[in-house]
Amino acid sequence: MAKTKKEENQVMENIISLAKRRGFIFQGSEIYGGLAGTWDYGPLGVALKNNVKNLWWKRFVLDRDDMYGMDAAILMNQNAWKASGHVAGFSDPLIECTKCKKRFRADHLDDHSKCPECGGKLGEPRQFNMMFKTYVGAIESDDSISYLRPETAQGMFVNFKNILDTFHPKLPFGMAQIGKAFRNEIAPRDFIFRVREFEQMEIEYFVAPHAWKETFEHFVKEVHAFIADVGIDAKKVSEHEIAPGDLAHYSKRTIDFEFEYPFGTKELYGLAYRTDFDLKAHSGVSKVDLSYYDEDKKERFVPHVIEPSFGVDRTVLAVLTSAYAEDELGGEKRVYLRLSPKVAPVKVSVFPLLKNKPELVAKAQEIWKVLKSEFGSVMYDEAGSIGKRYRRQDEIGTPYCVTIDFDTIEKGTVTVRDRDTGAQEAIKLDDLVSYLAQKLGS
Ligand code: GAP
């Protein structure tokens, strides 16, 4: 049965509260009352986020031979943002209430006549540029203006020639980058869905003009494959073809990959055919030739671009939403995260059955060290009852717990417990590493 609005809000509140309680994500600058549109990732959040980024980097850079990794500077020469069209046009329509002074995205309001908060009269909509402006160096003048980048993409376009000159790749090839982006959103909201500081994972894939369609289709499949990789519920993902009149200024075709978040179906990722817009624009302003010479066909042209763009924070939100589950186990209610072992911040947790038995503690710590060197993120916990320890690991999505008991000392077996089913299995100590490696898919 479909969830009511109230139940959906409750799911979101539960996820936000779990994220804070268990050290995934905290409100930015919390002790000062926060800063709207910013969130801080704690130890488990950064581990989850790094796992997401590593999976992306592996699929799109390491496992391919046509992709060049980049890490460009966040601050760029202001002319880059003039050329890209961001200075003139990277804006959202803003509308302000004349009474309470609250600001809204005009395109998010059905009724422009009265304020949704206080009923006051709304002013005229105006365009608001979303780039954060700053000054580089000691003098604040028009010449020293720069911006915190609103997308990582431009850092790749301005390095296109560097890649041609240093690696001499043949078309088609791509550039890939993961990094921070900043947008002064009018109305940041929905936890980490719309924020002012976020991370993107982007690819600019350069092709001959006639080859754009097949490359676009290739990346539609790759986006879905990545969605499956990170453990986002594929049933909640749909494609939304952007109507020609709504396309961004650089795009001839865009598909938004949307996800059913608890607060509604909204954009997760974008895939755009950017044509030769960016290379031509940068070439025009910088006066540097950004064309490509096809040795085989003896032809010079400006490559066209297919751009799959992934938000890291929206990925984390979709992963958490897909994984969040409540059930009853052993007659008790529990909350758990059904995270894929590939992204789970902790892969395995190790417990001695009793913390006041030195022989169990010593053995558990010995096994913990072995598993840690094998699987990296392995936790040790001896506090509280075994049941409580299981619940704590369930809540952070740890796929397997290993308990060391008297059978470990006497018979050389440990108990491995599966997070999703709660089923427990006795495993020979000698087989433990290979058993877990197989289960974790590592
Ligand atoms: N280079 C193309 C580009 O930036 P976009 O659709 O504006 O396209 C790409 O952004 C992705 O970045 C989005 O699909 C989303 O995942 C993420 N994103 C954009 N704005 C965001 C925000 N304010 N907060 C969190 N993620 C955001």
Q: Is 325 domain-assigned?
A: no
Pair (350, 286) in one structural domain: no
In the chain, the percentage of residues whose pLDDT exceeds 70 is 99
The CATH number covering residue 436 comes to 3.40.50.800
- The kind and range of the H/E element at 222 are helix 212-230
CB 403 within 8 A of CB 386: yes
Pair (189, 239) in one structural domain: yes
Token pair in block for residue 298? 């003896």
Average confidence score pLDDT of the chain: 96
Q: How many CB atoms lie within 10 A of CB 337?
A: 28
CB burial of 271-293 (b: ≥16 within 10 Å; e: otherwise) equals bbbbbbbbbebbbeeeeeebbbe
Ligand 1 centroid from CA 166, angstroms = 30
What pLDDT is stored for residue 421 in this prediction?
95
* 7-11, 23-27, 67-71, range with the lowest pLDDT: 7-11
What average pLDDT score do residues 20-40 get? 97
Binned at pLDDT 50, 70 and 90, residue 438 comes out as very high
Residue range 420-431, pLDDT digits in tens: 999 999 999 999
Q: Is 185 in the pocket of ligand 1 (CB under 6 A)?
A: yes
Amino acid identity, position 401? C
pLDDT(414) > 80: yes
Ligand 1 centroid from CA 398, angstroms = 30
Best of 39, 198, 269 for a ligand 1 pocket test (most atoms within 8 Å of beta carbon) = 198
- Start-to-end CA distance of the chain, whole Å, equals 37
Ligand 1 centroid from CA 204, angstroms = 15
Q: Is 250 in the pocket of ligand 1 (CB under 6 A)?
A: no
Q: Is 186 in the pocket of ligand 1 (CB under 6 A)?
A: no
Q: Is 86 in the pocket of ligand 1 (CB under 6 A)?
A: no
What pLDDT is stored for residue 53 in this prediction?
98
Helix extents (H) in 301-403: 312-323, 358-375, 386-396
What pLDDT is stored for residue 8 in this prediction?
77
Token pair in block for residue 208? 């001959």
Cis peptide before 172 (omega within 30 of 0): yes
pLDDT(1) > 70: no
What average pLDDT score do residues 98-118 get? 90
Q: Is 142 domain-assigned?
A: no
* Distance between CA atoms of residues 303 and 278, nearest Å: 10
**Region of residue 190 (left: phi > 0; alpha: psi -120 to 50; beta: else):** left
CA 434, chain centre distance (Å): 31
What pLDDT is stored for residue 330 in this prediction?
85
Q: Is 202 in the pocket of ligand 1 (CB under 6 A)?
A: yes
What average pLDDT score do residues 216-220 get? 98
* 90-94, 276-280, 374-378, range with the lowest pLDDT: 90-94
Q: Which residue has the CA at smallest separation from atom 4 of ligand 1? A: 151
Atom from ligand 1 closest to the CA of residue 200 = 12
Best of 178, 199, 314 for a ligand 1 pocket test (most atoms within 8 Å of beta carbon) = 314
Pair (298, 174) in one structural domain: yes
Q: Is 384 domain-assigned?
A: yes
Pair (293, 194) in one structural domain: yes
CB 219 within 8 A of CB 308: yes
Q: Which residue has the CA at smallest separation from atom 14 of ligand 1? A: 269
pLDDT(84) > 80: yes
Pair (308, 384) in one structural domain: no
Q: Is 309 in the pocket of ligand 1 (CB under 6 A)?
A: yes
Q: Is 314 in the pocket of ligand 1 (CB under 6 A)?
A: yes
Residue that terminates a domain, selected from 271, 286, 320? 320
Q: Is 349 in the pocket of ligand 1 (CB under 6 A)?
A: no
Pair (184, 235) in one structural domain: yes
As separate numbers, helices (DSSP H) first and strands (DSSP E) second, the chain gives 13, 23
Residues near 96 by beta carbon (within 8 Å), at least 6 away in sequence: 102, 103, 104, 122, 123
Q: Is 154 in the pocket of ligand 1 (CB under 6 A)?
A: no
213 or 111, higher pLDDT:
213
Q: Is 120 domain-assigned?
A: no
Atom from ligand 1 closest to the CA of residue 269 = 14
Binned at pLDDT 50, 70 and 90, residue 7 comes out as confident
pLDDT(23) > 80: yes
* Distance between CA atoms of residues 337 and 321, nearest Å: 9
Identify which of 430, 434, 417, 428 has the alpha carbon closest to the alpha carbon of residue 374. Answer: 434
Total tally of structural domains belonging to the chain: 2
Q: Is 183 in the pocket of ligand 1 (CB under 6 A)?
A: yes
Residue range 382-394, pLDDT digits in tens: 999 999 999 999 9
For residue 350, what are the domain limits?
346-440
What pLDDT is stored for residue 78 in this prediction?
98
- Strand positions, DSSP E, 164-303: 173-182, 197-207, 237-241, 253-261, 264-275, 292-294, 299-301
Amino acid identity, position 408? T
Q: Is 96 domain-assigned?
A: no
Length of the chain: 442
What pLDDT is stored for residue 374 in this prediction?
97
Residue that terminates a domain, selected from 285, 320, 355? 320
Binned at pLDDT 50, 70 and 90, residue 9 comes out as confident
Binned at pLDDT 50, 70 and 90, residue 340 comes out as very high
CB 306 within 8 A of CB 205: yes
Residues near 20 by beta carbon (within 8 Å), at least 6 away in sequence: 26, 27
Which is it for the CA torsion 113, 114, 120, 125, positive or negative? negative
What pLDDT is stored for residue 107 in this prediction?
87
Interstrand relation of 67-70 and 237-241 (parallel, antiparallel or unpaired): unpaired
Atom from ligand 1 closest to the CA of residue 153 = 1
The CATH number covering residue 291 comes to 3.30.930.10
Pair (157, 279) in one structural domain: yes
Identify which of 268, 266, 189 has the alpha carbon closest to the alpha carbon of residue 223. Answer: 268
What pLDDT is stored for residue 225 in this prediction?
98
What pLDDT is stored for residue 190 in this prediction?
96
Q: How many CB atoms lie within 10 A of CB 372?
A: 16
